[in-house]
Structure 1
Amino acid sequence: MSIYLDEKNPSKHKPFDDASPDIVEYVRYLEVIAGKSANTAFSYYCDLRGFSRFMKRRKGLVPEDAEMKEIDPKGLDTAFWGSVTKEDIYEYLYFLNRECGNKKSSTARRLASLHGFYDYLVNQVNRLSQDPTASIKPPKQDKVLPKYLTAEQSRELLESTQYQSDFPERDYCMVVLFLNCGMRLSELVGMDLGDIDLEQRQIRLFGKGHKERMVYLNDACIEALQLYLKKRNTMEGLDPKEKAVFVTRRRKDRISNRRVEQLVTSAMKAAGLKGFSTHKLRHTAATLMYQTGNVDILTLKQLLGHSSVGTTQIYTHLQEFQVRAAIEQNPLGEVKKASLDTTEREAGEISGENAAPSAKINDSASKSEEAAPSGPMEAFEGAANDGFRADVSAMKEPEEPVQE
């Protein structure tokens, strides 16, 4: 049996019990004690069920040619988890990469699920004494810069939502909030009317791990919300008790994540924008604020609701125009190159400035008696003259005969 979360009410789900007892208890621990969101707990739950299937096939508990999705993930006890070795973990990571085609980020997350599970068994409930994942590090991640829309592309998208939608007030408002506040999709869908304070120009959001934060609204957000809420509150058939901010036009209830993605994708397509997802609007907001809003990295971290500043650091690499400006502002950037001419000149055209070294040496030697150096260079007068008067021609090495 597969468990699927209700995206409108992810915390109200059926028990995660389609796995071995240790995994079921660990997932409950994540939600109740560790305070992880239902989505996070569900992701770990799916990862550990997948690992259970892999280990059953690896240990010969099912036929070797058994399809992974057909293997029952239940029936493994604590002693079995204690028998898992480091080599088993490495084989699992190899399987994810070679047979499943997982990206490095996906493999890292599945390894994190195993780290957490074994940490629970060893340190939280003391059922095992050793952790086979302890010294295994995740694959080194590729440093990929987030993809985002330019300011001009963002304007085109906003224009598109006004003319390519059957509910333009709602769709325009959602995109405005995405682009100005940098909120997550789940945060926008989960907003309730009580979370909005137009007088104080702010919205209360609940991010990952039930973390609450306040996001302030600029003029564009205030105007878009006022236009939409006026339309929403006069919708025929809307339940007065419906507390969701964004609702569907047909069912008159909270809009789903998937529906928002469809609407945004449609608006992007109409605007001629390809290769962008709804989450890229969050990247766009963060990038534009950091580049043009004089926002420091700690402020941006708080605004986006990141738990670690390391996550926010990706936006510090987007300042190409600042890097270019730094190069241009280098004081040595004004120095022009000297007049260099390495072409062979005709006899008699060699000037004192471009004379050959031998000519300059002889010239300086002839003038040394007329103008003796003074100041700091006076101490080097004798050595310099001796060096300049050396017979360079006598130092040439004889040419070796050509050997046939």
Structure 2
Amino acid sequence: MSIYLDEKNPSKHKPFLDASADVVEYVRYLEVIAGKSANTAFNYYCDLRNFSRFMKQRRGLVPEDQPLSEIDPKGLDTAFWGSVTREDIYEYLYFLNQNCGNKKSSTARRLASLHGFYDYLVNQVSRLEQDPTSAVRPPKLDKVLPKYLTAEQSLDLLESTRFQSDFPERDYCMVVLFLNCGMRLAELVGMNLEDIDFAQRQVRLFGKGHKERMIYLNDACVEALQRYLEKRGSLEGLSPKERAVFVTRRRKERISNRRVEQLVTGAMKAAGLKGFSTHKLRHTAATLMYQTGNVDILTLKQLLGHSSVGTTQIYTHLQEFQVRAAIEANPLGEVSAKRDALSSGNETEGDVLYTSEQGSHEGSGDTAFSEGSSPANGVLTGAEEADEPNPGQPMEALRGAAKEGFGLDLEALDPSEPELQDAKPE
């Protein structure tokens, strides 16, 4: 974790001073004027320090064999930033890709930091006249579909939270909120008691850029929260002034992002789930909600707290299983000509079309449609829809999920069970 940021107080940090004066002032501008979060400002700060080290090495201001991480990023004045050329920027991007192994998304993020920094120097404080990054475009990003858990895997994960710590009510509640509300890790950790409104069945979240939004709580969320808060209230030594919803059992303070990740990772491992991160639970919530067909893209955008609908559109790939089902249900897909008729050249026999179900059909060339289908629009009948294999997620498990949500029998969450006896306290 950074020496600057405090996970338990994400809005507080030590002064960012380990960089040139222009960089430090820019980071302060991001937080105070632009309203960026401490985490966003810190990421930009790290990017600019890394660029400072690269440029010192490129200009021969440090020994050539000195490791990049050991180069002091301070000591570069405004005139130096003004001497940076477009070629320097391209070389830096090449360095990130070839030497650092950065993905396209990481390279684009670091270029965005440089764009913002030079925009600040040129347009905000008028210290420079030229912006060397103005004509540099980010790499074209690959369109990667979000990885998510199936409904069955989600239930397995919830079940496994019973065995990962001496506080199963808390761990279960956190996973329930992730899977049902699609909240970010920082949003869950930052929740305070006053943010929960059981009367209105909603919770207030503070997302990126200090954006506030209200999230509806379904039955599973309400039940899990009420059970956990009852246990939380009985913790010995917990200060009544502690407003954090989720706390550690040993220190009686707000749980950290890292600890939540450890708990979720442990639960996933116990459930036999590999290759999933905590953030994938957010993708899972969005995916399962979208697959029910009851959530449009704009509603999903608001629910997830996206600033642009373009970000939310990544979930539109989830319609693919419906498209495939519609194509496979098309009655023309079952029509085939009799092989021996085609091979023999018999025009009379060749005009006859057969479906895979019939095996043969006597007619004058009219296509045979299965009963109940519509050649005009290809709409699935009730029978076809029920029999259609789903290449996406098991949709039957999602029936009613919008109201009840994903949850288990909470009476099974008994910390006195043998599996919990050997659990180590935090």
TM-score scaled to structure 2, two decimals? 0.79
Instruction: Count the aligned residue pairs.
Output: 349
Larger deviation, residues 324-333 vs 303-312: 324-333
Contact 2:341 2:349 in 1 (8 A): no
Please tell me whether residue 53 in structure 1 is matched to residue 60 in structure 2.
no
Which amino acid in structure 2 is aligned with residue 294 of structure 1? N
Deviations 1:31-57 (A, max 9, x none): 000000000000000000000000011
Tell me how large the CA RMSD over aligned residues is: 1.6
Which amino acid in structure 2 is aligned with residue 35 of structure 1? G
What residue number does 2:31 align with?
Answer: 31
**Alpha-carbon deviation of 1:175?**
0.4
What residue number does 1:146 align with?
Answer: 146
Q: Distance in 2 between matches of 1:323 and 1:329?
A: 10
What residue number does 2:16 align with?
Answer: 16
What residue number does 1:234 align with?
Answer: 234
Q: How does 1:329-340 map to 2 (within 5 A)?
A: 329-330=329-330, 332-333=332-333, 336-340=335-339
Q: How does 1:66-105 map to 2 (within 5 A)?
A: 66-105=66-105
Contact 1:145 1:318 in 2 (8 A): no
Q: Distance in 1 between matches of 2:347 and 2:151?
A: 57
**Alpha-carbon deviation of 1:326?**
2.6
**Alpha-carbon deviation of 1:285?**
0.3
Larger Rg: 1
Structure having greater relative contact order (Cα 8 Å, sep ≥ 6): 2
Please tell me whether residue 126 in structure 1 is matched to residue 126 in structure 2.
yes
Q: Distance in 1 between matches of 2:65 and 2:77?
A: 23
Deviations 1:272-311 (A, max 9, x none): 1111111110010000000015100000000000111111
**Alpha-carbon deviation of 1:339?**
2.7
Deviations 1:311-369 (A, max 9, x none): 111111123321212313546446x2233436766xxxx866259xxxxxxxxxxxxxx
**Alpha-carbon deviation of 1:163?**
3.6
Q: SS at 2:336's partner residue?
A: coil
**Alpha-carbon deviation of 1:12?**
1.2
Q: SS at 1:158's partner residue?
A: helix
Q: SS at 1:72's partner residue?
A: coil
Contact 2:193 2:245 in 1 (8 A): yes
- Aligned CA distance change for structure 1 residues 50 and 342 (closer, same or farther; 3 Å): same
Q: Distance in 2 between matches of 1:353 and 1:171?
A: 70
Larger deviation, residues 313-322 vs 203-212: 313-322
Larger deviation, residues 57-66 vs 173-182: 57-66
Deviations 1:47-82 (A, max 9, x none): 000000000110111111111111110111111001
What residue number does 2:218 align with?
Answer: 218
Larger deviation, residues 32-41 vs 311-320: 311-320
Contact 2:4 2:16 in 1 (8 A): no
**Alpha-carbon deviation of 1:165?**
2.8
Q: Distance in 1 between matches of 2:196 and 2:150?
A: 28
Which amino acid in structure 2 is aligned with residue 297 of structure 1? I
Q: How does 1:5-404 map to 2 (within 5 A)?
A: 5-330=5-330, 332-333=332-333, 336-341=335-340, 353=348
- Aligned CA distance change for structure 1 residues 9 and 353 (closer, same or farther; 3 Å): same
Q: Distance in 1 between matches of 2:170 and 2:122?
A: 50
Deviations 1:98-141 (A, max 9, x none): 11111111111000000000011111111111110001111111
Q: SS at 1:214's partner residue?
A: strand
Q: Distance in 2 between matches of 1:153 and 1:292?
A: 17
Q: Distance in 2 between matches of 1:100 and 1:351?
A: 67
User: What is the percentage of aligned positions where both structures have the same residue?
Assistant: 84
Structure 1: gaps spanning 5 or more residues = 356-404
Structure 2: gaps spanning 5 or more residues = 351-426
- Aligned CA distance change for structure 1 residues 158 and 351 (closer, same or farther; 3 Å): closer
- Aligned CA distance change for structure 1 residues 344 and 278 (closer, same or farther; 3 Å): closer
Contact 2:148 2:284 in 1 (8 A): yes
Q: Distance in 1 between matches of 2:35 and 2:343?
A: 79
**Alpha-carbon deviation of 1:157?**
0.6
- Aligned CA distance change for structure 1 residues 21 and 328 (closer, same or farther; 3 Å): same
- Aligned CA distance change for structure 1 residues 188 and 342 (closer, same or farther; 3 Å): same
